[in-house]
Structure 1
Amino acid sequence: MTDATIDYAAVFQGLPGMVALLTPDLVYADANEEFLRMSGRTREQVVGRFLFDVFPDNPNDPAATGMRNLETSLRRVVATGERDTMALQRYDVESTTRPGQWEERYWSPVNTPLLDPDGKVVLLVHRVEEVTELIRARGRSGGRTRVLEAELYTRARELQEVNERLRGAHAREREVALALQEAMLPTSRQSTGHQIAVRYRPAVGSLNVCGDWYDVVDLVGGNRIGVSVGDVVGHGLAAAGVMGQLRSALTATSRVADGPAQALDVLGRYAHVVDGAESATVVTTFVDFDDYTVTYSSAGHPPPVLVRPDGSVEFLDRATDPPLDARPDPMPRPQAGTTFTPGTTLALYTDGLIERRHEDIDRGLVRLADSLVRHRNRDPEALADAVLLELLPPGGATDDTALIIVRL
């Protein structure tokens, strides 16, 4: 028997457990027969409806947390693309034969993402096992078993509350880190007279901020600017501190360096004495608006992209070297250059924009180039928004993302 001869729709309906398919917006796309039978709902009452319209919390129980816990789990799966196995949940269900009457029910849910080839979550497999009768049977046995069951449920509730407090603490730390990020990263206003859009998107999940950075600086002599992006290994406040040191050093070095290669050469020597700067990546470009040239050098970073007015694309990948402090004995960095015509778009970014799990990086580069070409006639602000919308997962990426768009 081959895949072509298997009726997977029939297999889904015949699964022995309760399984439903949800969209990333938590709307029922389908539910198997066992799910409908055990929940006491018809297909018309479920499919096409928002999950919590079908199964709200018990309004008679002010302490009910089932809906909140389930939504938190599902949103986490959408954001991270990772499976989530939940603790035992009490989630009461309204009786189908006695409206207004709520039945005490216990469930063991598992939520799993279904990904498309680009790594985007397109559906959620929501599998639940009802354990109400098991809880009641053990309760009827009385004595120590009933006490243990009560303790089990109490401990599960306590664990959920602890996790929520930890997430709250992480959220506060995240706010601090984001404030630090905003204080240390420049805005497009720092380089006047040019159309520049900058974007920074922190990773979803725990803190996961401040690993990526960017810089736009006016260069000495002529109508020139330096545009750079970098990525520090790690996340959090420690990475933010390293990022700030490297960005400041590159800003100062770029103003006096003969070119981007010399700027990165000096930065690499400085990174050697900065704890946490090992294997950081960075690419810097010097744009000369008088000569219509871009010179560049990369220390292990994904290549910048030039999109010309006619839609042709050039990846600036002819001067790539290992990351900062990767060599025990530093060597001069390579440098390359190219020309541009007015109206050309230059894009620099970090790997969070293009990399996806279980996918070759070339696919991400193709997606980026395609998006830049299709939206090349938009102003840089609108272009940056369009690229992020198309390339980042709906719930956010699992890595930080920095993006700079410059209209040359």
Structure 2
Amino acid sequence: MNDTAIEYASVFQSLPGMVALLTPDLVYADANEEFLRVAGRSRDQVIGRHVFEVFPDNPNDPAATGVRNLGASLCRVLATGERDAMALQRYDVADPDRPGQWRERYWSPVNAPVFDADGKVVLLVHRVEEVTELIRARGGPDGTRTRVLEAELYTRARELQDLNERLRRAHAREREVALALQEAMLPARGQVGDHRAAVRYRPAVGALNVCGDWYDLVDLVGGNRIGVSVGDVVGHGLAAAGVMGQLRSALSAASRVAEGPAQALNVLGRYAHVVDGAESATAVTTFIDFEHRTITYSSAGHPPPVLVHADGRVEFLDRATDPPLDAAPQPLARPQAGTTYTEGATLALYTDGLVERRREDIDIGLARLAESMCRHRAQAPERLADAVLLELLPPGGATDDTALVVVRL
């Protein structure tokens, strides 16, 4: 049997468990028959309505946390693109036949994302198992054992919820500190004199996804030259931000005295070999000579810079790519390549958050970048950078950091 022979709408409606589909705005797009039956709602009472309009918290229970906990889980899935299994929840449900009356109910929810071709979350699968009867199944004639078990489970669920909330706040604080550290260590926009350059840094969405992306622009000795670099450290949070700062500073210093970008990366590779957390970090650096209109470059496992010539021709600088920093037991000499340009060309360096999407070949993202850069090449670097980010990043933000440097040549 092939896919075309399967009526997936019928399969969805026949699923033995409770399953609903929510939009990113948390509005019910669909629900199967079991969901409606157990919830005691008709399709008209559910479809097209916000989840918390259909299922609000019990107003008679000032300690109710169902809305807060479910909302936090759904937002985590939207922000991270990852499945989220929730702890056991007590979430009372209004009795549709008796206004003002609420039924004590216990649930085990799991929320998962559905992606489109661009890796954007377009739907949320909300799967729920009701466990109320399971909790009560072993109660004695007087219900004492049931009440004890309920109280114990309810206490444990509240403890888990409180722990999750404390962890969320701790991660949010760590994210704020990491972002402040990154901002303090990244160079100012005016660091390369009068050259027309725009820099952008967009942190990942989600409290756990502060990463180690960085950029650098430095004046080089000997003529009208600048060095432009970007890099990416594997990892998250303060540790990644700290490693990022060390590598950026080391490459900045090496570029000022190196004969070329390959030699600068050679020095950086030797330094990364003794820095904990620098394993598999990537970087690419370019030396731009404005007098001779040349670009010399070298890459350590990083996506290639893109050069848009004045006539619209796009050239990816990919002829000097080597493994990431500290990938080899002994640092090896890096390759180096060069190209030329005419006045009015535009160079862009970036990190993978700009072009990589889940379940999509990176060549698609590179083609998207080339098309956007070419179409906006006549704009000033500041406006061009904003246009590229607007077109390439998902509307809700990416799940990986993004650094972008645009230089008008």
* Equivalent residue number for residue 269 of structure 1: 270
Given residue 223 of structure 2, which amino acid in structure 1 is its aligned partner? G
Q: Tell whether the 8 Å contact from 1:79 to 1:394 is kept in structure 2 after alignment.
A: no
Distance 1:291 1:397, change over 3 A: same
Aligned partner of 2:118 in structure 1 is: 118
Match of 1:39 in 2: 39
1:88 alignment partner AA: L
Q: 2:115·2:122 contact (CA, 8 Å) conserved in 1?
A: yes
Q: Structure 1 CA distance, aligned partners of 2:134 and 2:301?
A: 57
In the TM superposition, what whole-angstrom CA distance separates every residue of 1:216-273 from its partner, at most 9, and x where no partner exists? 1122233322110112233332332222222112212222222212222222233333
Q: Which residue of 2 aligns with 1:178?
A: 179
Which SS does the other structure have where 1:338 is aligned? strand
Q: 1:254 to 1:97 in 2, by over 3 A?
A: same
Equivalent AA in structure 2 for residue 234 of structure 1:
G
Which residue is equivalent to 1:304?
305
Instruction: Report the AA paired with residue 244 of structure 1.
Output: G
The two structures have a TM-score, normalised by structure 2, of 0.91
| Contact 2:377-2:384 within 8 A present in 1 as well | yes
Cα distance change, pair 107–272 in 1 and its aligned pair in 2 (3 A): closer
Q: Distance in 2 between matches of 1:144 and 1:60?
A: 25
Tell me which moved more, 333-342 or 382-391. 382-391
Ranges in structure 1 where 5+ consecutive residues have no aligned partner: none
How far apart in 2 are the matches of 1:147 and 1:316?
68
* Distance (whole Å) between structure 1 residues aligned to residue 14 and residue 140 of structure 2: 33
What letter corresponds to residue 403 of structure 2 in structure 1?
A
Q: Cα distance 1:227–1:86, how it changes in 2: closer, same or farther (>3 A)?
A: same
**Are 1:231 and 2:232 counterparts?**
yes
Residue equivalent to 1:405: 406
> In structure 2, what is the equivalent of residue 26 of structure 1?
26
Q: Distance in 2 between matches of 1:287 and 1:351?
A: 22
Correspondence for 2:7: 7
Separation (CA, whole Å) in 1 of partners of 2:279 and 2:260: 23
Deviates more, 1:163-172 or 1:89-98: 89-98
Shift of 1:161: 0.8
Kept in 2: contact 1:215–1:229 (CA 8 A): yes
Deviates more, 1:107-116 or 1:359-368: 359-368
Which ranges in structure 2 are unaligned for 5 or more consecutive residues? none
Whether contact under 8 Å (1:138, 1:149) holds in the other structure is: no
Using structure 1 for the length normalisation, give the TM-score.
Answer: 0.91
Structure 2 counterparts to residues 72-83 of structure 1, below 5 A: 72-83=72-83
Percent of pairs identical after alignment? 81
Separation in structure 2 between the aligned mates of residue 194 and residue 102 of structure 1, nearest angstrom: 67
Paired positions, count: 408
| 1:304 Cα offset (Å) | 0.6
1:137, distance to aligned residue in structure 2 (A): 4.7
Is the contact made by 2:77 and 2:111 (CA closer than 8 Å) also made in structure 1? Answer: yes
Aligned-pair distance for 1:395?
Answer: 4.4
The CA distance in 2 between the partners of 1:96 and 1:385, in whole Å, is 50
RMSD: 2.4
- Aligned letter for 1:76? R
Mark the CA change 1:55 to 1:343 in structure 2 (over 3 Å): closer, same or farther: farther
What corresponds to 2:51 in structure 1?
51
Instruction: Describe the SS at the equivalent of 1:369.
Output: helix
Pair 1:279–1:20, CA change in 2 (3 A): closer
Q: Aligned partner of 2:89: which letter? A: Q
Cross-structure match for 1:190 = 191
Deviations 1:322-345 (A, max 9, x none): 222334444432221112233322
Inter-partner Cα distance in structure 1 for 2:17 and 2:273 = 57
Q: CA deviation at 1:148?
A: 2.3
- Tell me how far 1:92 sits from its aligned partner: 2.1
* Counterpart mapping for 1:104-253 below 5 A: 104-138=104-138, 141=141, 142-253=143-254
Comparing 332-341 with 66-75, greater Cα deviation is found at 332-341
Q: Which amino acid aligns with 1:105?
A: R
Q: Confirm or deny: 8 A CA contact 1:181 1:210 kept in the other structure.
A: no
